[in-house]
Amino acid sequence: MRAAGGPNLRPTGFLLPPLPHSVDAARLHRRAILFMVVAPLCWSSGGLLVRLLSFRDAWEIVFWRSLFMALFVAGTLVVLHGRRVPQAVRSVGWPGLLAGAFLAGQFFLFIASLTRTTVANTFVLMSVSPFLAALAARLLLREAVPMRTWIAMSVAFGGMVIMFSDSLDAGRLSGNLLAVGVSVLFALNVTVLRKVHATVDMLPTVMIAGLMSIAVALPLAAPFEATPRDLAVLAVLGCVQLGTGCLLMVAASRHLTATELGLLALLEPILGPVWVWALLGEAPGPLALAGGAIVLGAVIANEAWAAWRGRSPPAVLAPPAATPGP
């Protein structure tokens, strides 16, 4: 779960309030980098936490995760806005509602993917989100895509073909397709926000997405199987893995470029598989490892080249809000 730049999506007043010009900008930048390092650390725990649950029903997992996340974000909004919370929620308008719907879809597909394929496959395939966002911007908004990005997308596509060839024999094809679906919804989310030139406070949008997820998942989640231990894990999933990660990302986005956000967000697909590999012994197959290395290498090379040239890539290349490991 991650956030897009573009039309001014940088909120006001979250953790890093406006400060006098005399305040050292370098210190604010370092603090933002720290926030953006911790945010993907939170997101990357999603695969491990889902594996710790005693059940695998995606609808129930989404319900409880969204419930805890929505309560956490609502509490944060109360602390930040007090009685002005309804106004903050209304300010997102219909673009925020549509973005929330796409984000809610990411919640479902992320959990469904984790229950049908390896954590490594889910996170690596989700890392192509910046590429799909760039394609959507090119097709729908007529925004130019740099040649380096076209090359990186071609290389990443080759890596994805290798990963999918490995999943055919392992029965993981549906999980891999769902992970790609997360990236597709992210691209649509970013494109909608840029199309209408929306200025969106990201936290109300995340809460709206959580409420939408709860409404859809509740009728399909019964009969509930979660034990008290499961509920504790799900609370961490909602409040820490998703809620805290999004809050820190929103704060960091005020002082980091899209390139910096993109580079630091790559900690999520890199660390996510490491946790389950090291702690639970879930090792991907050799073809999945090879394909994943190609995909991540292409993404990292694309973002690093943009940083080296000293140019921020198009804002759609910044990571999404909820990617949200959504």
DSSP string, 265-296: HTHHHHHHHHHHHHHH--PPPHHHHHHHHHHH
23 occurs within a structural domain? no
Residue closest to 297 by CA, chosen among 259, 260, 266: 266
**214-250 pLDDT per residue, tens:** 999 999 998 899 999 999 999 999 999 988 988 888 7
Rg (CA), the chain: 19
280 occurs within a structural domain? yes
Residue 152 has pLDDT above 70, yes or no: yes
CB-neighbour burial class of residue 153 (10 A; exposed 0-12, middle 13-18, buried 19+): buried
Q: Are 221 and 63 in contact (CB under 8 A)?
A: yes
More confident call, 165 vs 226? 226
Task: Give the model's pLDDT for residue 194.
Answer: 66
**287-303 pLDDT per residue, tens:** 878 888 888 888 788 77
202 occurs within a structural domain? yes
Cα–Cα distance for residue pair 249/148, rounded to 1 Å = 26
18 occurs within a structural domain? no
Boundaries of domain holding 140: 34-317
Cα–Cα distance for residue pair 173/168, rounded to 1 Å = 6
| Torsion sign (Cα): 213, 215, 220, 224 | positive
Highest mean pLDDT among 56-60, 203-207, 231-235, 304-308: 231-235
114 occurs within a structural domain? yes
pTM here? 0.78
Number of structural domains found in the chain:
1
More confident call, 255 vs 238? 238
Cα-Cα end-to-end distance for the chain: 4
The tokens describing 271, both together, are 């660390």
Residue closest to 250 by CA, chosen among 2, 19, 72, 37: 2
Task: Give the model's pLDDT for residue 170.
Answer: 61
> C-alpha 205: how far from its chain's center?
13
15 occurs within a structural domain? no
177 occurs within a structural domain? yes
84 occurs within a structural domain? yes
